[in-house]
Amino acid sequence: MTIATKIFALLFVALCMSTASGVNLDAVPAKAEVQLAEGSSDISVGDKTVRVIRAHVGTSNAHSYETFTGFLLPRHSGNPWLHVMVDEPDGILSDFRTVESADSTVQAIAIYRDHNRLFVVQATKGGIGAPDLYVKKARVNFSIYQFNEDIDMPRFKRQKTLESASTYLNAGDALANEFFSK
């Protein structure tokens, strides 16, 4: 192996190591975030309207959560609403949801608009398992989904996943401190 090849290999490894531990996010402006009401919120996207139903699910333990279900509303009354499903690499989900514990928020959800496109960001603590997941700080993964605007098969499709630079007890704090700019 030549010296130039060794130098290139070392530089490549150093570059990979520097980006693996955290991402310098191009923060989304905080004003782009859609403030969702409890219950339903209508969000205009071009000539379409997505209704997001935000509902609280109580449980008999300390792990209550919220669901966020999207529907593409018809242009004319009397036509059916279309459920906006969530495309995941291992299947399709019916909605987004938070994950709560008595001690922290393990997964948080936010919705934002950018250039008349609709996005959902799912912030999830990672890298550690229960019970530490609930009581210790961890890096947060930001999975970003875009509404495809398809009137036949509306979907939120995952576009990319990023990782926070800092660690957080609550995933929602990572959204406020790193994902959305002030």
Q: Where are the domains of the chain?
A: 28-181
Q: What is the rounded distance in angstroms from the CA atom of residue 163 to the CA atom of residue 33?
A: 19
Residue-wise pLDDT tens digits, 107-144: 999 999 999 999 999 999 998 888 899 999 999 999 99
Q: Are 173 and 21 in contact (CB under 8 A)?
A: no
Residue-wise pLDDT tens digits, 58-103: 988 878 899 999 999 999 999 999 999 999 989 999 999 999 988 8
